[in-house]
Structure formats: structure tokens, C-alpha cells
Amino acid sequence: MLYSNLIRPLLFKLPAETAHDITIRQLELLQNSYLGRGLIKLLSGHVESNPVQVMGLNFRHPVGLAAGLDKDAKVIRGLFQMGFSHIEVGTLTPKSQPGNDKPRLFRLKEDHALINRMGFNNEGSIAASRRLKKRDPNWGVVGGNVGRNKITNNENAIDDYIASMSHLRDYVDYFTVNISSPNTPGLRELQQEEVLKKLLTKISDDNSKSLKPRPLAVKISPDLSKQEVQSISRLAVTCGFNGIIGTNTTVNRIGLKTKANRIKDAGSGGLSGRPLTRHSTDVVAWIKEAVGDSAAVIGVGGIFNAQDVIDKRNAGADLVQIYTGFVYNGPSMINNIQKAWIK
């Protein structure tokens, strides 16, 4: 209530990225004091426990925060305090990089959606690992989402993934290999079967040989055919991956309510939120059909309410993650939607 009546109207008066940055800064301050954490809890409400075990990890309940909101792992304590069972930090690259020119994040309020072309702006996986070192494992599960630097070409992409994973390995519980962001030129080409096979095999081999092998997930795009989704999912399982995350944002703009000129002004980038709900649920069902129980399915895309969670679960999801719904509905949605999860 406090979020939708007071905080959101104030934040939505600001440009989208400014609102995001202010929120992160406030959370950084609040999470570090007992009083601040109490305030976060008050705002978020009580989140009940509803334990699930996925990829060999124990989750307090099935609802987590999707990658991209806390790219640099600055506010995981505050976010866990809100009630998320898991937080996926990143996408992290081995070297820090500024991302694309601003403006690069836009609200489509009529559509309950966002368009972003952030371009993996992040301080690098070493800086994130220093922050994650201080985390208490009891707060919840942390996933490390990794990608390649913009200046690295696809031939050398493997080295970037492996480097970030070695920086983060001691401090995260699972890894997500991001091959589906539309905002790093050429990244989605890594989803081509032969290229992907090489990438996933190398990552998986490196992971198994390490002192602390972690469960591995791959995050895929919603802009693939059913056949592509299913062959990528099967390939990931063959390569030893434990989870498939569907989906990232879409480059599709069909059926939006927002005026065409505003959508055009926003320009290129990935669309998230309500327009993605149904299609990402379909993708979850395609993944489940392909992998059965041989890998976990993590459903992401346009989750705003309990029904959206039920739909993802019925399609085969073992966990769900939210981003845009959280921006629109605030932290009190976490408990409401996780209660809908009864398996």
C-alpha cells in the first residue's frame, strides 16, 4: 500500500534509471543499520516460508529477484530483507564497463512494461565478489549471472564466462550463463547450436574440475522458435547444466498499448513486463516438455500477481523470478505471490 500510494508515484515522476539509482542508494543506506532493515521489513510485510529444493539448493520459497536489478551485488542484504528467497546478481563481466549511452531505460506505463538497453553496465566480477564475500549464507540463495564484455568477440567469449565464474565461485550458490541479452551486439548468436555446444561444454568441464562446482543454469531468449528452445534446453542438459531460465527480455513490440511514437522514441532494447507474461509461460512449457525432470526450470517474464505464478508453475516452473512486476507493484507482492505456490 505504502509503495503503490506513496513511493511509486514519487519514483515514477523521475526518469526510470534515476529512480532505479536512487532506490539502490537508499537501500544501501537502509540495509546497513538495524533500524533501516526494520523499515524495509515494515514496507515489505511478513514473508512466509514455503521451502523448495531446486538444483540441489534449499530455497525458502520459490520467488526470487531476476538478474539486472542488483547487477553489482550492492544491496542483496536489503533485497533479502524484503523477502526474496534468492537474488540473481549480474549480469557481471570480467572487466567493468559503462554500458550503453543514456537514456537506456524506459517505462511503458500503459503496458506495465519496461524497455531497456542497459548493455551490461557493471563494475566487474571482481568488485562484485568483494561485496559478496561479506554475505551471510543464511540470508538466502545468491546466483551469479555472467556474460561477456562488449569488447570481447564471440570467439573469445568463453574466456570471459570462465574468468567471471572463477572470481565469483566462492561467493555464489549457482551460476547463470547469460546468452540471451539483446543489448550486447552478437551475444544472442551464442545460442546457435554448434557455438553453444562448445561454450556450455567448456563451462561445464571447468566447473566440474573446480574445487567448488556450482549448479549451472543457462538463460534463454523469448525470441526463439519452439524447436530452438527445446534443442538448446536439451543441449544444456547434455552438457551437464542443472537449470534452464526462460526468459530474458524480448525485442518483439507486437500488441503494445503505448502510443507508437513513444515506443519508437524508446528505440531498441529488450521489452519486459506484462506483454511478456503469456509468451514466457509458453517458453517455460516448451522447456519442461524438452527436459522433463532432468533439469530445473526457472520461469521469468511478466509476473505481477498470484495467477501469473500459478500459470508459470503449471507450465512446469520449479522457481520463478521477477523484475518488472516488482518495479510496478513493490515488495509487498513477494509474499502474496509466493503463497500461491502449492505443489
Please check whether residue 86 is in contact with residue 54, taking contact to mean a CB–CB distance below 8 angstroms. Answer: no
Least distance to ligand FMN from the beta carbon of 309, Å? Answer: 11
Nearer to ligand FMN, 190 or 300 (CB): 300
If one asks whether residue 301 binds ligand FMN (CB under 6 A), the answer comes out as yes
Does 275 bind ligand FMN (CB under 6 A)? Our answer is: no
Point out the catalytic residue in the list 181, 204, 233, 280: 181
Does 178 sit near ligand FMN (CB under 6 A)? yes
Within 19-58, the residues that bind ligand FMN by CB under 6 A are none
Residue with smaller CB distance to ligand FMN, 297 or 322: 322
244 touches ligand FMN (CB under 6 A): no
315 lies in the site for ligand FMN, by CB under 6 A: no
67 lies in the site for ligand FMN, by CB under 6 A: yes
Which residues within the stretch 73-102 sit at the binding site for ligand FMN (CB under 6 A)?
Answer: 90-91
Does the annotation mark 85 as catalytic?
A: no
Q: Could you say whether residue 116 binds ligand FMN (CB under 6 A)?
A: yes
How near is the Cβ of 57 to ligand FMN at its closest, in Å?
19
Strands 63-65 and 296-300: unpaired
Contacting ligand FMN (CB under 6 A), which of 60, 61, 214, 219?
Answer: 219
| Catalytic machinery residues | 181
Site residues, ligand FMN (CB under 6 A): 66-68, 71, 90-91, 105, 114, 116, 118, 120, 145, 178, 181, 219, 248-249, 272-273, 276, 300-303, 322-325
